[in-house]
Amino acid sequence: MLSSKASSNCHGQDSLYFLGWQVYEKNPFHEVENPTGIIQMGLAENQLSFDLVESWLRKNPDVMGLKNKDGESVFRDLALFQDYHGMPAFKNELVEYMAKIRGNKVKFDPNNLVLAAGATSANETLIFCLADPGDAILLPTPSYAGFDRDLKWRTGVEIVPIHCSSSNGFRISMFALEEAYERAQKLNLKVKGVLITNPSNPLGTTMTKDELQSLITFAIDKDIHLISDEVFSGTVFDSPCFISIMEAAMDSNLKRNTDVLSRIHIVYSLSKDLGLPGFRVGMIYSNNQTVVSAATKMSSFGLVSSQTQYLLSYMLANKKFTSNYMKRNQKRLKKRKEMLVSGLKKSGINCLKSNAGLFCWVDMRHLLCSNTFEAETDLWKKILCEVGLNISPGSSFHCSQPGWFRVCFANMNQSTLQVALRRIKDFVERSSFNYQQNGGSLSRKLISNWVRKLSSADREEQER
């Protein structure tokens, strides 16, 4: 009766990533009203800097009231505006803001910018432009759980993972790239491109210039596209600084190949750094005119509201505001991340060293009763239901090694984070206590690992 899309499960929404949210929704933590509820640590949102945006809004009531600088109502113009090319003023401000985030080391042309209703929409549209049903996109793991839906569902395109491991900090190696490409070929899938998220979700790390240039070389060699999802580019709070794919492509060696720019596409959004996911502002940037033209027409299916464009073009035009926001926001993110990292360390849990994002990639391998994904799911269930923390298991990010979890830190206030850290500490101590009560061999492995963790990291690698 219905299409296979509507009736099947291929939208990927039954992943543990989304199931955890559902459990959270039934019993959400509230400092006063529900202090024993589940704390949401699976939502990568930035709620640390609203006060800055709100204060700008208070100082600019006219814009909110849909009036222009002369106090005249622009209601009619905004009500009618549905041009899928987007508001020129808004796009001009956006490209300047994007350049600012990249330290003004690259410049963007507003005519190459296509607006979309969030990065979700931008990613899907880009896939519609670059690939046909049955084609494949290579994606490094671990990667954002939502890609299974955004890239595959309605487009009919396949995802072939590029396996990355903790052995080299989950960096993408040429070997892994080649191996993924070959795997696609064996499956008779035509590879149309590679999609990377930089800074990475869920790792929270930025890519080095070498990594980016290897990717570009790979793309040229295989005659495919390169999509760089840079939605977290505004959340880089520590060194090394952010290097955009555009910057890497400007290198003189690569420039010799004149078509390199026509195969690189950037996705960005205001949901992560400006903390405005509800406003649905996403965008595609591409130097490829055919892609820009097609994507522009496709944006009919998800335009950004004209009022949003109007409001934000004024806000972004205020350079003092954006400079101040970027500086203070990054400071707050850094502080909050350090609070999470040190808190976890006190419980004997380490994180991957990160310099960006709204989350940490946390190593709980030593808490698994066996080196399997079943054990990871068991641990996840315990942490969700007993400890009351919704964190996201590595398997939902298609991580190739069990035991890693993504833990968000920017979507709650400080006291809530402290509650969460306390709960984890109690849980870890309880686990070792339980061992002492039961003395089971499995628990012994658990406690030995935990103890070893506190003493020496090297030995842990040897004994696994």
Partner 1 sequence: SGENKETWEFKLVKGESGRQALDELRQEREHMDHSCTLSAWTSWRLKRKLIMGLLSRKVTCNSHGQDSSYFLGWQEYEKNPYHEVNNPQGIIQMGLAENQLSFDLPESWLAKNADAAGFKRDGQSIFQELALFQDYHGLPAFKKALVDFMAEIRGNKVTFDPNHIVLTAGATSANETLMFCLAEQGDAFLLPTPYYPGFDRDLKWRTGVEIVPIQCTSSNRFQITAPALEEAYQQAQRKNLRVKGVLVTNPSNPLGTTMRRDELDLLINFITDKEIHLISDEIYSGTVFSSPGFVSIMEVLKDRSLEQTPVWERVHIVYSLSKDLGLPGFRYLLSAMLSDKKFTKEYMAKNHKRLQKQQSKLVSGLEKAGIGCLESNAGLFCWVDMRHLLSSNTFEAEMELWKRIVYDVKLNISPGSSCHCSEPGWFRVCFANISEDTLKLAMQRLKSFVDSVAINNQSHQELKNSRKKCRTKWVFRLSFQSFHDREQDER
Site string for partner 1, 391-430 (x = CB under 8 A): ----------------------------------------
Task: List the x/- string, 308-327, binding to partner 1 by CB under 8 A.
Answer: x-------------------
Q: Does 298 bind partner 1 (CB under 8 A)?
A: yes
If one asks whether residue 81 binds partner 1 (CB under 8 A), the answer comes out as: yes
- Residues 72 and 62: beta-carbon distance below 8 Å: no
Contact status: 290 vs partner 1 (CB under 8 A): yes
Question: Residue 5 Cβ, how far from partner 1 at the closest point, in Å?
Answer: 6
DSSP string, 6-67: HHSSTT-TTSHHHHHHHHHHHSB-BTTTBTTSBEE-S-----S-HHHHHHHHHH-HHHHTTB
Diameter over CA atoms, the chain: 77
Select the residue interacting with partner 1 from 22, 289, 438, 456 (CB under 8 A).
289
Query: CB-wise, 307 or 432, nearer to partner 1?
Result: 307
Least Å from the CB of residue 180 to partner 1: 19
CB of 286 to partner 1, least distance (A): 10
| Site for partner 1 contains 291 (CB under 8 A) | yes
Nearest alpha carbon to residue 296 among 109, 88, 122, 130: 122
Q: How far is the CB of 299 from partner 1 (least distance, A)?
A: 9
What percent helix, strand, coil does the chain show, rounded to 5? Answer: 50, 15, 35
- Report H helices in 318-456: 319-346, 373-381, 414-438, 441-455
Ranges within 249-288 binding partner 1 (CB under 8 A) = 258-259, 261-263, 271, 275-280, 287-288
Size of the site for partner 1 (CB under 8 A): 68
> Which of 27, 36, 47, 342 contacts partner 1 by CB under 8 A?
47
| Residue linked to tokens 């496709």 | 298
Q: Which of 98, 131, 196, 316 binds partner 1 (CB under 8 A)?
A: 131
Q: How far is the CB of 224 from partner 1 (least distance, A)?
A: 9
Nearest 10 degrees: Cα torsion 434, 438, 441, 445: 10
Mask: binding to partner 1, 95-124, rule CB under 8 A, as x and -? -----------------x----xx------
Is 61 an interacting residue with respect to partner 1 (CB under 8 A)?
yes
Of 53 and 339, nearer to partner 1 (C-beta) is: 53
Closest CB to partner 1 among residues 298, 408: 298
65 binds partner 1 (CB under 8 A): yes
User: Based on CB atoms, which residue is closest to partner 1, 205 or 313?
Assistant: 313
The helix/strand/coil state of 225 is strand
Cα separation values, 311 from 63, 74, 96, 281, 315, Å: 6, 12, 16, 12, 6
421: amino acid identity, one letter:
L
Backbone angles phi, psi at 370, to 5 degrees: -155, 160
Nearer to partner 1 among residue 2 and residue 32 (C-beta):
2
Q: Considering the rule CB under 8 A, would residue 214 count as an interface residue with partner 1?
A: no
Site for partner 1 in 139-158 (CB under 8 A): 154, 156
Neighbours of 394 (CB within 10 A): 26
Alpha-carbon distance of 450 to 164, in angstroms, equals 25
30 binds partner 1 (CB under 8 A): no
What is the C-alpha to C-alpha distance for residues 185 and 201, in angstroms, rounded to an integer? 27
Amino acid at 231: V
Q: Are 234 and 326 in contact (CB under 8 A)?
A: yes
DSSP 73: B
* Binding site residues, partner 1, CB under 8 A: 1-6, 45, 47, 50, 53-54, 57, 61, 64-66, 73, 75-76, 78-82, 112, 117-118, 128-133, 135, 154, 156, 192, 223, 225, 258-259, 261-263, 271, 275-280, 287-291, 293-294, 297-298, 300-303, 305-308
